[in-house]
């Protein structure tokens, strides 16, 4: 499935937004326009109907209503409809003595219709589903006594009452109709005045208004979309395309990953795109540095080869072996050892002066065995040391190593305990990435484990952060760190040496030097294991702090 580019997605978003906006504006304006016009005509129709109703003689209208119910009148009206001769009806009204009054009524309705420019003015009595008409302009006497069907919305009315004006379509004609009751002298509603205003032209004008609004909306939308697309293309799409092309050039198999392929663009937008450009450039520069480091490490891996003996020698050569390592420093005593198993392993320890007043201690264990673990150990040790010598604290050093090691084909990881100690004060900072708990003996006590929550091991996944904590060494305090080869040493009964036996061995001689301390632990492990094969490296480090004044 072909993916849509960012430009096309943004164009589609702008187009959709403008269509929705135009649609909303069209409907709002149409509704507002229609509401105002309809309200105007409803108000006029209602006022006119009320004016006519107030001008009528209610008693006369009531008399007309009674006449049209007479059987003689109904018979005359039926013949008049058949012959279209309404003279007999006029004669009947003459005999009733109301001919002139009725003629005047019809004339009044006609004059009102013409003067007010309305479609119909009529008087009828609403009786549920039907209306009994008494007069109508322009029809005149032809509607006297006419019984016609009411609109469905009038079927609820059985008496002549005020009916709110409304705009409706009746038989293809748009009318605004209003109804007001006519009262006789006794206050009884005897009929209703109806006024119908012709709305056909209004509706036609409204349709034209709608067409114009649609046209204007389309034109404005087209202009806004075109302007928006050009703006988006200039501000977003073009810079992103350049960034994409620059990223592709950097990763090109033939010419990429070189200083010449680092992205270089003229982007000064002052927004996130410019920030993305600078971050991309910075990332590519760092990648070159990382590639350079990895290349060196890879060359080192290739140099040591696949043979086990060569790997063992390199592993041993990477560890500090000269003790005392700093004979001129009297503030502390330091000793470490690693006894490898038959197979090449990944244990390592390290210590180095970060500056004249700070020393770093490292104890680590790489997962797995053999040459891959040994090579991984070399890389991990190098990364941790490099990070620390660049001024990073333990958590930052482990995070740095983690980012370089996470994506390794062998899926190896390394548990690390690392600490930096300020020699002049004894203040320390430690981070533990899945490693064994260290043990400490204060000057007036015994060794005990320092148990706290670990961080995950280095290289288990990308993006890890590592917790660190502070500690304080007082003159005479001793620190002991080790790999799991010590507590997990196993005898021929498949029993583990364990942490308790290790603490007992540490506490055997309170006056032992750090070298003797490690020797005592190793002797107890050997006595426990006896002839059982050693399956893991056994690595230990002891550090005794004498204080800034040195050993007394």
User: Binning pLDDT at 50, 70 and 90, where does residue 300 land?
Assistant: low
CA distances for 466 relative to 323, 366, 432, 457, 484, angstroms: 31, 17, 8, 9, 20
Q: Name the phi and psi angles at 474, rounded to 5.
A: -105, 155
Give the mean pLDDT of 201-216: 76
Dist. CA 405–CA 372, nearest whole Å:
13
The residues that bridge with 448 in the sheet, in sequence order, are 440
Beta strand pairing call for 163-170 and 173-183: antiparallel
How confident is the model at residue 278, as a pLDDT?
Answer: 76
How confident is the model at residue 437, as a pLDDT?
Answer: 96
How confident is the model at residue 245, as a pLDDT?
Answer: 75
Dist. CA 352–CA 505, nearest whole Å:
27
The conformation of residue 308, written as its DSSP 8-state character, comes to: H
Render pLDDT for 469-527 as a digit per residue (tens, 0 to 9). 999 999 999 999 999 999 999 998 999 999 999 999 999 998 899 999 999 999 999 99
Lowest-confidence pick of 55-64, 381-390, 412-421, 529-538: 529-538
Nearest-10 crossing angle of helices 99-116, 6-55: 150
How confident is the model at residue 19, as a pLDDT?
Answer: 76
Q: Is the pTM of this model over 0.75?
A: no
How confident is the model at residue 152, as a pLDDT?
Answer: 64
How confident is the model at residue 552, as a pLDDT?
Answer: 62
Give the mean pLDDT of 332-355: 86
Render pLDDT for 82-121 as a digit per residue (tens, 0 to 9). 999 999 999 999 998 999 999 998 998 988 888 888 888 9
Give the mean pLDDT of 440-466: 92
User: Binning pLDDT at 50, 70 and 90, where does residue 37 land?
Assistant: confident
Percent of the chain at pLDDT exceeding 90: 37
The conformation of residue 171, written as its DSSP 8-state character, comes to: T
How confident is the model at residue 545, as a pLDDT?
Answer: 96
- The answer to whether residue 467 scores a pLDDT higher than 60 is yes
Query: Which is more confident, 407 or 450?
Result: 450
Q: Name the phi and psi angles at 331, rounded to 5.
A: -75, -15
- The answer to whether residue 233 scores a pLDDT higher than 70 is yes
Nearest-10 crossing angle of helices 308-318, 370-389: 20
Give the mean pLDDT of 147-176: 74
Residue position matching structure tokens 């990763």: 251
- The answer to whether residue 217 scores a pLDDT higher than 80 is no
Query: Which is more confident, 501 or 18?
Result: 501
- The answer to whether residue 307 scores a pLDDT higher than 60 is no
Lowest-confidence pick of 65-74, 151-160, 481-490: 151-160
- The answer to whether residue 202 scores a pLDDT higher than 60 is yes
| Closest C-alpha among 95, 93, 104, 161 to residue 128 | 161
Q: Which of the given ranges, 20-24, 158-162, 163-167, 470-474, has the highest pLDDT on average?
A: 470-474
How confident is the model at residue 173, as a pLDDT?
Answer: 81
How confident is the model at residue 360, as a pLDDT?
Answer: 97
Query: Which is more confident, 492 or 306?
Result: 492
Query: Which is more confident, 305 or 384?
Result: 384
How confident is the model at residue 201, as a pLDDT?
Answer: 77
Give the mean pLDDT of 313-320: 75
Query: Which is more confident, 72 or 410?
Result: 72
Mean pLDDT rounded to a whole number for the chain = 84
How confident is the model at residue 28, as a pLDDT?
Answer: 74
């Amino acid at each position: 499935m072909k993916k849509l580019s960012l430009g096309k997605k943004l164009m589609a978003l702008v187009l959709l937004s403008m269509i929705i906006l135009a649609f909303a504006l069209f409907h709002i304006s149409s509704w507002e326009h229609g509401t105002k016009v309809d309200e105007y005509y409803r108000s006029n129709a209602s006022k006119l109907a009320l004016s006519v109703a107030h001008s009528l003689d209610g008693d006369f209208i009531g008399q007309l209503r009674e006449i049209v119910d007479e059987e003689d009148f109904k018979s005359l009206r039926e013949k008049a409809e058949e012959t279209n001769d309404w003279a007999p009806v006029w004669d009947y009204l003459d005999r009733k003595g109301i001919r002139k009054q009725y003629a005047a009524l019809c004339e009044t309705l006609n004059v009102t219709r013409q003067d007010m420019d309305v479609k119909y003015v009529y008087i009828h009595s609403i009786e549920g589903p039907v209306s009994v008409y008494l007069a109508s302009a322009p029809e005149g006497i032809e509607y006297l006594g006419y019984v016609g069907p009411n609109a469905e919305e009038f079927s609820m009315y059985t008496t002549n009452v005020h009916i709110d004006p409304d705009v409706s379509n009746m038989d293809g004609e748009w009318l605004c109709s209003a109804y007001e009751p006519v009262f006789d002298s006794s206050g009884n509603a005897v009929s209703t005045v109806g006024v119908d205003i012709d709305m056909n032209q209004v509706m036609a004008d409204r349709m034209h208004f709608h067409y114009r609004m649609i046209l204007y909306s389309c034109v404005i939308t087209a202009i806004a979309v075109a302007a928006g697309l050009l703006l988006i293309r200039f501000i977003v799409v073009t810079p992103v395309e350049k960034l994409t092309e620059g990223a592709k050039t950097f990763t090109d198999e033939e010419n990429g990953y070189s200083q010449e392929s680092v992205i270089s663009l003229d982007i000064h937008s002052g927004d996130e795109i410019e920030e993305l450009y600078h971050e991309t450039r910075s990332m590519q520069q760092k990648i070159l540095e990382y590639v350079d480091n990895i290349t060196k490490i890879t060359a080192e891996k290739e140099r040591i080869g696949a043979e086990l003996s060569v790997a063992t020698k390199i592993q041993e050569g990477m560890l500090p072996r000269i003790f005392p390592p700093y004979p001129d420093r009297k503030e502390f005593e330091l000793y470490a050892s690693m006894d490898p198993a038959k197979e090449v392993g990944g244990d390592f320890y390290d210590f180095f002066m970060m500056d004249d007043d700070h020393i770093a201690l490292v104890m680590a264990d790489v997962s797995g065995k053999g040459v891959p673990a040994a090579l991984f150990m070399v890389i991990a040790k190098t990364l941790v040391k490099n990070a620390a010598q660049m001024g990073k604290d333990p958590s930052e050093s482990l995070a740095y190593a983690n980012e370089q090691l996470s994506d390794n084909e062998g899926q190896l990881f390394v548990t690390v305990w690392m600490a930096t100690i300020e020699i002049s004060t004894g203040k320390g900072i430690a981070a533990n990435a899945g490693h064994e708990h260290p043990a400490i003996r204060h000057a007036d006590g015994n060794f005990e484990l320092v148990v706290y929550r670990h961080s995950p091991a280095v290289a288990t996944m990308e993006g890890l952060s590592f917790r660190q904590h502070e500690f304080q060494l007082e003159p005479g305090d001793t620190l002991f760190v080790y790999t799991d080869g010590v507590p997990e040493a196993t005898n021929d009964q498949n029993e583990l040496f364990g942490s308790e036996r290790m603490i007992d061995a540490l506490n055997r001689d309170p006056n032992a030097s750090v070298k003797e301390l490690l020797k005592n632990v190793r002797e107890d492990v050997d006595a426990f294991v006896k002839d059982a094969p050693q399956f893991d490296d056994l690595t230990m480090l002891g550090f005794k702090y004498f204080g800034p004044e040195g050993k007394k």
